[in-house]
Chain A
């Protein structure tokens, strides 16, 4: 059971989850931009994530790079299958990253960079959701490479998961703002969090009901005994998080809505994990036959055992340094 491939599958799953949660709220800030009219409020929003967004995105590199390193077969089949959505995501992230650099430098073009930040964030989140949906649908593999068509990723289901992630990231962004800002931006964030909280729950419900219908394996995974118990518990946990979110938005503390929104994400992620296991590419490549040779897995694991705790340590330190509410007079301007 505890072989290096399993350890790595767990590590990469954690890296991807870390990415979804961490970059989720800073993408969410961009997604909310069009709904926030005042450039001053937008400045505060951007400054609340400015010190950490770069580190957050590094988890995406670890997800992709890690897959390349330890599951090269999965990497070599998933990425061509998701060529279009991943390319769109990369371009959107590059554009959005540049907006962080340039927005405060330019008065004349400030609106352009605000739009680039919003557009980049929305497109990146949507593309990630589409890619995830396409992966859940399954990918055709033959002779160690992708064997499907170039638009297999585009279905009603994947568009729905794309929208679901945009809505969910917006919730993360709004609850982050509730936690990190004061006064007008905070009030606005509370309103947005209510709206996107409701939308997120609707999205979770639709995707959860649809997924088991995609194929028999998912159906069996969720509705065979004893898994049925789990299928009953998960919705209850989701409702529990929703209740905490509502409570936090009504009475505080200000960190509670953000934690509850993260809880929703973690539950959805565990749900996907339950559907997938033990496949890394659903229904064609398992964790073990997609893995690199043991010597590659151990070589990287040795260093990871030393470096990952250090990374977690200094990442936590950076968040601690920038803890508390954002000072409107600090940051990029």
Chain B
């Protein structure tokens, strides 16, 4: 549903951006609709309701098409976002529009591969920790539950493998950002002043007005080492950029730290599970299971924090260095924007609230053996939520 909203919000709230960047961003979004949305929405019906109508092989095919649809969607959306972060392959015409010059360069901008890999891995990790958390929850109640064991074990394998890849991807992405968006890195690191042998700040309170990081705690020279792979390398601070080209540092600084902290916690849980697996105590370590339950939402938090880092870090631009956010907006009156924003917040909170309640109820039910070859009907219900495997009145007898 959010796809529909997005394809209209570019015009309602960001019409100047739509006019100027439309010739480039529009076709990429168009490809997303054609290659991803239709695939996903078209086969979703068969995936959810078609089990008795198409046979298992075609049903598997439909399910795979839904998965491919989401993956294609990620590809195009991140292509758009990467172009906005590190624009390339364009010219500017008389009407002030960005016009395409080289589509290859537009789709595959310098930051695109890093962003795509980082985001896809993040999505897998998010899923792994949700599945692992639900599995752990049921294991805490009954450590013999076979389905829960499978959930927990597979999720922990995923956590071990993917967190490692993610650290590498995140580091490469950071270096790429340093090359193309140094002001963002300066804000992420809390560096107000350009210096050699810059410390890695663990904590601090950024103050844009004073231009310094209060109460900072840092490890000397480590910042330079990570960013330049040289203990005394020079790192640009925010002072290297004109004041009107700096992102608001506090948001970027803190959201980045939240993302990294959750990422490290995921690494920790992964390693812990590996140790217990070697000792053949994977299903018996109560504290590990509790930690996995606590970490279930961690992927969502980390992903959100990461997006805040990258989007706020891009400020004050929508198209980096070329089109400011202020110049991108529609000439819509503030009351109209405020009203629609409040309406969206109310509707989304109501629906996400209800959705969360229904999802948590589903998660409260242990997985059943042989669930997947159950004959009655849909194994999963549309879009947001995994459906009950049996009639809802058997699942929620309390109601």
B95 interface hit (Cβ, 8 Å): yes
By the criterion of a CB under 8 Å from any partner CB, how many residues of chain B are at the interface? 76
Q: Distance in Å from the Cβ of A136 to the closest Cβ of chain B?
A: 19
0 or 1 for each of B95-108: is its CB under 8 Å from A? (1 = yes) = 10101110100000
Chain B residues contacting A303 (CB-CB under 8 Å) are 30-31, 34-35
Do residues A83 and B336 form an inter-chain contact, with CB atoms below 8 A? Answer: yes
A205 interface hit (Cβ, 8 Å): no
Q: Which listed segment binds B: A171-179, A249-257, A288-296?
A: A288-296
Q: Distance in Å from the Cβ of A294 to the closest Cβ of chain B?
A: 10
Q: Distance in Å from the Cβ of A78 to the closest Cβ of chain B?
A: 7
Give chain A's interface residue range (CB within 8 Å of chain B). Answer: 35 or more
0 or 1 for each of B171-215: is its CB under 8 Å from A? (1 = yes) = 000000000000000000000000000000000000000000000
Chain A residues contacting B52 (CB-CB under 8 Å) are 330
Do residues A107 and B399 form an inter-chain contact, with CB atoms below 8 A? Answer: yes
A84 interface hit (Cβ, 8 Å): yes
Chain A residues contacting B385 (CB-CB under 8 Å) are 101
**Which residue of B38, B52, B93, B388 has the most chain A CB atoms within 10 A of its CB atom?**
B38
Do residues A311 and B382 form an inter-chain contact, with CB atoms below 8 A? Answer: no
Q: How far, in angstroms, from A167 to B29 measured CA to CA in the complex?
A: 33
Q: Distance in Å from the Cβ of A302 to the closest Cβ of chain B?
A: 10
Do residues A51 and B381 form an inter-chain contact, with CB atoms below 8 A? Answer: no
Q: How far, in angstroms, from A16 to B16 measured CA to CA in the complex?
A: 24
Q: How far, in angstroms, from A86 to B12 measured CA to CA in the complex?
A: 8
Do residues B19 and A76 form an inter-chain contact, with CB atoms below 8 A? Answer: yes
Do residues A318 and B100 form an inter-chain contact, with CB atoms below 8 A? Answer: no
Q: Distance in Å from the Cβ of B55 to the closest Cβ of chain A?
A: 11
Q: How far, in angstroms, from A64 to B46 measured CA to CA in the complex?
A: 26
Known A76-B11, A91-B347: A84·B19 in contact at CB below 8 Å: no
Interfacial residues, chain B to chain A (CB-CB below 8 A): 1-5, 7-8, 10-12, 15-16, 18-19, 22-27, 29-35, 37-39, 41-46, 48-50, 52-54, 93, 95, 97, 99-101, 103, 330-333, 336, 340, 343-344, 347-348, 351, 354-355, 358, 377-378, 381-385, 388, 391-393, 396, 399
Known pairs A83-B330, A87-B12, A300-B31; list 13 more (Cβ under 8 Å).
A54-B382, A55-B45, A78-B11, A86-B8, A94-B351, A144-B19, A295-B101, A295-B103, A296-B24, A299-B27, A303-B34, A318-B43, A333-B392
Interfacial residues, chain A to chain B (CB-CB below 8 A): 50-52, 54-55, 57-58, 60-62, 64-70, 72-73, 75-80, 82-84, 86-87, 90-91, 93-95, 97-98, 100-102, 104-108, 144-146, 150, 292-293, 295-296, 299-300, 303-304, 307-308, 311, 314-315, 318, 321-322, 330-333
Which 9 A-B residue pairings sit nearest by Cβ, starting from the closest?
A72-B22, A79-B11, A69-B26, A51-B45, A76-B19, A69-B30, A292-B23, A76-B15, A300-B27
